C-alpha cells in the first residue's frame, strides 16, 4: 500500500495598508470565491479522499477582512455606477478588469469575451467603443467570472447571473458583490467543519509568511550559496521575530479552529537547523518541504529514470525526524510541478491517469510503507486548467477513491501513530526553489530591501525598549480592523507584514510582473508605516522605488555584422540571422508559470537601411498574433513605438513585418531619427489584453547604429 499525503498551500501577502485599512490589490477577494472556497468544496464530493489545506494566518485575516468589505481599488471601480464613470476610471477598468486568464476566465464566458473583443484595439484600449451597459456588464463580469464553478451551480443568485449573461442592473451588481462577501465569510468556518469531520487537516505557516531561516540567521543563505553578498544593516538578527511569527500563527489557528495546529508548511518550504527548535517550541510536530532539501541534507541524488522512478526512492518517500520532536516529509518535486505547470495542457482523464500511474511507480520504487508527498500552490494553477481545474481534480480524486493500492493520509494522524524511525544528520538550509534562498537575498535589490527593513527595525527596537513592553509576545490581532493605527503595536504589525517573502520575490531579476511596482510600493508602505506609527518622519529613501534602482549587466549578445534579412516570417536561411544579437527570453520567465510566456527568443541588428528584429514565439508567430499584439517600445528614441497585430498588420515608424513560424520586423533607421554611433534602446512586448510579457523584463536591449553602412564586421560596442 502506497500512502499519499496531499497538501494544497493557500497564501497571499499582506495587501492591506495597515494604517489606511485598504488593500492594494484584489487577489484575496477574487481567489477567495474561487479557490479558497472551491478546493474544500470539490474534496467534499469524495469523502474517501483526505488532504491537507495550508492556510497562512495573514491570509485568514485578509479573507475575513474582505468578507466585511475591506476596499481595494478594483472594488471601488466596480462600485461606481456605470453612468458616472469618468474617462480616467474607464481607462483603469480596461487596464484591470481583464487581468485574468483569457481563455478560461474571460472567453469561457460569452459576454465577458465579447466585451474584451469590443474594448481591445490593435495597440490600445478603446473606451470609446463601450456603451454604459457595456461598462456595467464589465463591472459585473470582472467579479462574476471568479466565482467557482460549483458556486455557479449551487448559489441561486450567482447561477441566475451566469444564465442572464448581459444587461445587468446596478442592483444586480451590488448583489454580486454581496454574494462575494457571503462566500468569503464562510471560507474559514467551512475548513473548520471539514477538519472536525476528519477529511482534512489544516496546516499553517508563520504569521505573515517570512523566510524563517533568514530571520533566524541571514548567513543561512551561504550554506547553499557560499560568498553570496548579504545585506549590511543593523537589527538583521531577527530570531525573536521568527519566534513571534510562529507563536502568532499558533494562537490565531487555535482561535479559529479550536485546537492547536500539528503541521507546518514553512514559507516557500524554507528550512534550516536554526528554525526547527523554534517550530518545536511553538508546538508544531510535523513540517513539509521540498525533496531538494533532503537531497542536499543526505548528499544523494533523486534523479528520475525513463519511467519516472526516483533513485534512492526509499529515502525520498519516507518520513524523517528533523529535530527532537519534529517529523518531516519532503514533497516529490516532479509530481508537484506536473500538477502545477504541465497537466493544464492535457485532458482531465489523461492527466489523472498519468498522475496515478506515477504515484504507483513511486510507491513500487520505495517498497512497502512508501509515503509520497504531493504539495503545491492551491490557488494559482487552476485558472490555467480547462474548467478551472474542476474536471482534473474530480478525475484525480475519483481514481484515488477507487484505488485499492493508494491510501490518502493525514500527517498529524500518521506521525502520532508511527513516528519516523530515521533522523536527518544535519538539515540543509534551503527552500523549494533550487534548494537555496537566491530568490530572496543576494541581489542588490533584495539586499537594499533588507537593509531598509533593518534600519526600520532598529528604530522600532529602540522605541520598544523605551516603552518597556514588547508586543511580539502579545496575541495576534482579532482582525485587521482591530490593529491600532499608532504606537508600537501598530508598528510591529507593519514590520511583520514587511518581513513576508513575497516582496523579495519580485525584487531582483528572477521574476517579472507588470504589477511588480505595486509590490515594491506596498513593501515600502509597510516600512513607512512603522515610522509613521511611532510619530517619526520616514526616511526619504523609502519614497523612491527599490526595483530598478540597481542595474545588472547586459544579458544579451551583441550583433557583430550587418544583416541581410528577407522579411518573410520564415527561417529561410541558416546564415540570415547568424550575425544578429540575441536575447534568450526564457531567463525572464516566472518560475510560477515558466511554460506560459509567448516570446522565447529575440534576435536583432541592422541591415543597410533598417533596424531588424526577429521574435521566436512559443508556437507559430502567425497563429500567436491572433491573440497577441507585439510591440517594439523604444526608450531611445523616446516615444517611438511599433505595433504588429494579426495578419502582421504593422503601425508606427513606417515599419514592415511578416509572420509565419517566426515574426520578422524591419524599422527604417531614418524613421527613428537616430544618427550613426547613437544607441537604439528598446523592449519587445507581447500583449494579450492587459497581460504583457516584456523582453527583457528589466533593462532595454541597447544596440549602436553602425557608423558606416558599408562597414561589415566588428562595428558594435
Burial of residue 136, with CB atoms counted within 10 A of its CB: 0-12 exposed, 13-18 middle, 19 or more buried: buried
Mean pLDDT of 582-592: 62
pLDDT digits (tens, 9 = 90+) for 267-308: 999 999 999 999 999 999 999 999 999 999 999 999 998 788
Q: Where are the domains of the chain?
A: 2-15+196-417, 16-195, 444-543, 574-704
Secondary structure element (H or E) that encloses residue 602, with its range: strand 599-606
Q: What is the pLDDT of residue 698?
A: 64
User: What 3-state DSSP class applies to 134?
Assistant: helix
Overall fold of domain 2-15+196-417:
7-stranded beta/alpha barrel (3.20.110)
pLDDT band for position 593 (cuts 50, 70, 90): very low
| Of 499, 487, 466, 476, residue with least CA distance to 530 | 487
CA pair distance 76, 72, nearest whole angstrom: 6
CB-CB contact of 646 with 630 (8 Å): no
What pLDDT is recorded for position 690?
57
Specify the pLDDT at position 596.
Answer: 52
CB distance 258 to 191 below 8 Å: no
Q: What pLDDT score does 193 carry?
A: 98
Q: Give backbone dihedrals phi and psi of 214, rounded to 5 degrees, phi first.
A: -75, -35
- Name the residue with cell 457595456: 134
Query: Do the Cβ atoms of 408 and 51 come closer than 8 Å?
Result: yes
Evaluate if residue 554 carries a pLDDT over 60: no
Q: What pLDDT does 708 receive?
A: 54
Which of 371-385, 563-577, 675-689 shows the lowest per-residue confidence on average (mean pLDDT)? 563-577
Percent of the chain's residues with pLDDT above 70: 95
- The rounded distance, in Å, linking the Cα atoms of 297 and 301 is 11
Pick the CATH number of 574-704 from 3.20.20.10, 2.60.40.1190, 3.40.50.300, 3.30.479.10: 2.60.40.1190
DSSP sequence for 253-313? HHHHHSS---EE--GGG-B-TTHHHHHHHHT--EEEEEHHHHHHHHT----B-TTSPBTTH
DSSP-derived 3-state class of residue 636 = strand
Segment among 293-297, 563-567, 574-578, 580-584 with least mean pLDDT: 574-578
| Extended strands (E) in 231-347 | 263-264, 286-290, 320-321, 327-331
The closest of 623, 622, 624, 644 to 633, measured between CA atoms, is 644
End-to-end CA distance of the chain: 64
State the Cα–Cα distance between residues 715 and 560, nearest whole angstrom: 6
Asked whether residue 629 carries a pLDDT value surpassing 80, the answer given is yes
Cα torsion 253, 257, 262, 267: sign: negative
Q: Which of 173-177, 647-651, 664-668, 690-694 has the lowest mean pLDDT?
A: 690-694
**Range from 120-124, 277-281, 346-350, 480-484 carrying the lowest mean pLDDT:** 120-124
The whole-model pTM stands at: 0.80
CA distance 679 to 702: 6
pLDDT computed for residue 712 by the predictor? 34
Please state, in angstroms and as integers, the Cα–Cα distance from residue 368 to each residue in 296, 361, 372, 375, 592, following that order: 25, 12, 12, 22, 34
pLDDT tens-digit map of 88-100: 999 999 999 999 9
User: Contact, 125 vs 629, CB < 8 A?
Assistant: no
The 10 Å Cβ neighbour count of residue 117 is 10
Look at residue 162 in the predicted model and tell me its pLDDT.
98
383 neighbors 15 (Cβ within 8 angstroms): no
599: its cell numbers? 516570446
CB atoms within 10 A of CB 131: 10
d(CA 411, CA 391): 27
Separation CA 475–CA 477 (nearest Å): 7
Output the pLDDT for position 650. 95
Per-residue pLDDT averaged across 553-566, rounded? 79
For the stretch 199-228, pLDDT in tens is: 999 999 999 999 999 999 999 999 999 999
The mean per-residue pLDDT over the stretch 660-670 comes to: 95
Q: Within 13 Å and on the Cβ side, how many CA atoms surround 210?
A: 29
Q: How far apart are CA 317 and CA 611, in angstroms?
A: 55
For the ranges 122-126, 479-483, 666-670, the lowest mean pLDDT is seen at: 122-126
Q: Is the pLDDT of residue 551 over 70?
A: no
Q: Answer whether 614's CB lies under 8 Å from 578's CB.
A: no
Confidence of residue 689 (pLDDT cuts 50, 70, 90): low
pLDDT, mean over the chain: 93
The predicted-structure confidence for 538-548, as pLDDT tens digits, reads as follows 999 999 999 98
Q: Output the pLDDT for position 717.
A: 29
Q: Does residue 592 register a pLDDT over 60?
A: no
Neighbours of 47 (CB within 10 A): 11
**Helix orientation angle between 132-144 and 110-119, rounded to the nearest 10 degrees:** 130
Amino acid at each position: 500500500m502506497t500512502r499519499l499525503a496531499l497538501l494544497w498551500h493557500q497564501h497571499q501577502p499582506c495587501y492591506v495598508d495597515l494604517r489606511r485599512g485598504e488593500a492594494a490589490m484584489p487577489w484575496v477577494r477574487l481567489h477567495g470565491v474561487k479557490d479558497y472556497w472551491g478546493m474544500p468544496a470539490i474534496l467534499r464530493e469524495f469523502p474517501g479522499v483526505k488532504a491537507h489545506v495550508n492556510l497562512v494566518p495573514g491570509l485568514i485575516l485578509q479573507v475575513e477582512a474582505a468578507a466585511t468589505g475591506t476596499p481595494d481599488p478594483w472594488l471601488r471601480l466596480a462600485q461606481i455606477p456605470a453612468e458616472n464613470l469618468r474617462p480616467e476610471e474607464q481607462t483603469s477598468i480596461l487596464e484591470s478588469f481583464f487581468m485574468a486568464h483569457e481563455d478560461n476566465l474571460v472567453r469561457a464566458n460569452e459576454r465577458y469575451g465579447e466585451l474584451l473583443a469590443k474594448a481591445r484595439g490593435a495597440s490600445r484600449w478603446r473606451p470609446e467603443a463601450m456603451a454604459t451597459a457595456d461598462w456595467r456588464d464589465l463591472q459585473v463580469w470582472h467579479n462574476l467570472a471568479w466565482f467557482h464553478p460549483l458556486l455557479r451551480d449551487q448559489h441561486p443568485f450567482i447561477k441566475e447571473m451566469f444564465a442572464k449573461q448581459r444587461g445587468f442592473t446596478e442592483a444586480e451588481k451590488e448583489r454580486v458583490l454581496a454574494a462575494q462577501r457571503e462566500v468569503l465569510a464562510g471560507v474559514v468556518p467551512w475548513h473548520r467543519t471539514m477538519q472536525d469531520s476528519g477529511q482534512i487537516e489544516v496546516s499553517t505557516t508563520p504569521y505573515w509568511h517570512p523566510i524563517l531561516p533568514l530571520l533566524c540567521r541571514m548567513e543561512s543563505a551561504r550554506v547553499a550559496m557560499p560568498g553570496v553578498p548579504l545585506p549590511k544593516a543593523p537589527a538583521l538578527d531577527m530570531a525573536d521575530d521568527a519566534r513571534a511569527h510562529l507563536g502568532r500563527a499558533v494562537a490565531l489557528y487555535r482561535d479559529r479552529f479550536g485546537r492547536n495546529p500539528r503541521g507546518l508548511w514553512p514559507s516557500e518550504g524554507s528550512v534550516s537547523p536554526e528554525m526547527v527548535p523554534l517550530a518545536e517550541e511553538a508546538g508544531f510536530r510535523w513540517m513539509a518541504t521540498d525533496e531538494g532539501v533532503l537531497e542536499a541534507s543526505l548528499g544523494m541524488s533523486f534523479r528520475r529514470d525513463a519511467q519516472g522512478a526516483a533513485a534512492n526512492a526509499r529515502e525520498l518517500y519516507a518520513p524523517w525526524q528533523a529535530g527532537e520532536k519534529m517529523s518531516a516529509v519532503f514533497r516529490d518535486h516532479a509530481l508537484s510541478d506536473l500538477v502545477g505547470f504541465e497537466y493544464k495542457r492535457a485532458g482531465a482523464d489523461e492527466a489523472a491517469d498519468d498522475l496515478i500511474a506515477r504515484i504507483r511507480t513511486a510507491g513500487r520504487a520505495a517498497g512497502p510503507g512508501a509515503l509520497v508527498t504531493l504539495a503545491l500552490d492551491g490557488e494559482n494553477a487552476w485558472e490555467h486548467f480547462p474548467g478551472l481545474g474542476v474536471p482534473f481534480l474530480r478525475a484525480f480524486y475519483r481514481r484515488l477513491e477507487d484505488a485499492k493500492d493508494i491510501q490518502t493520509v493525514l500527517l498529524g494522524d500518521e506521525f502520532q501513530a508511527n513516528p519516523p524511525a530515521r533522523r536527518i544528520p544535519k538539515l540543509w538550509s534551503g527552500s523549494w526553489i533550487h534548494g537555496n534562498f537566491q530568490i530572496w537575498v543576494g541581489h542588490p535589490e533584495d539586499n537594499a530591501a533588507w537593509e531598509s527593513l533593518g534600519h526600520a527595525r532598529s528604530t522600532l527596537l529602540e522605541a520598544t525598549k523605551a516603552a518597556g513592553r514588547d508586543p511580539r509576545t502579545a496575541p495576534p490581532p482579532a482582525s485587521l480592523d482591530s490593529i491600532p493605527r499608532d504606537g508600537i503595536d501598530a508598528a510591529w504589525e507593519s514590520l511583520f507584514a514587511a518581513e513576508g517573502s513575497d516582496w523579495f520575490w519580485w525584487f531582483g531579476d528572477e521574476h517579472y510582473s507588470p504589477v511588480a511596482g505595486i509590490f515594491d510600493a506596498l513593501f515600502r508602505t509597510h516600512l513607512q508605516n512603522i515610522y509613521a506609527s511611532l510619530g517619526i518622519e520616514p526616511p526619504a529613501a523609502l519614497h523612491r522605488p527599490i526595483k530598478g534602482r540597481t542595474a545588472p549587466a547586459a544579458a544579451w549578445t551583441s550583433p557583430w555584422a550587418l544583416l541581410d534579412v528577407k522579411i518573410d516570417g520564415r527561417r529561410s536561411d541558416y546564415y540570415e540571422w547568424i550575425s544578429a544579437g540575441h536575447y534568450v527570453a526564457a531567463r525572464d520567465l516566472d518560475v510560477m508559470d515558466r511554460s506560459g510566456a509567448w516570446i522565447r527568443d529575440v534576435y536583432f541588428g541592422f541591415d543597410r537601411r533598417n533596424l531588424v528584429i526577429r521574435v521566436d514565439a512559443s508556437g507559430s508567430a502567425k497563429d500567436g498574433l491572433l491573440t497577441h499584439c507585439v510591440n517594439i517600445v523604444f526608450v531611445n528614441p523616446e516615444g517611438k513605438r511599433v505595433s504588429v497585430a494579426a495578419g502582421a498588420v504593422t503601425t508606427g515608424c513606417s515599419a514592415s513585418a511578416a509572420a509565419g513560424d517566426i515574426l520578422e520586423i524591419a524599422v527604417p533607421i531614418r524613421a527613428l531619427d537616430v544618427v550613426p554611433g547613437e544607441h537604439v534602446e528598446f523592449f519587445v512586448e507581447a500583449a494579450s489584453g492587459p497581460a504583457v510579457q516584456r523582453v527583457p523584463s528589466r533593462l532595454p536591449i541597447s544596440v549602436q547604429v553602425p557608423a558606416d553602412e558599408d562597414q561589415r564586421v566588428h562595428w558594435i560596442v
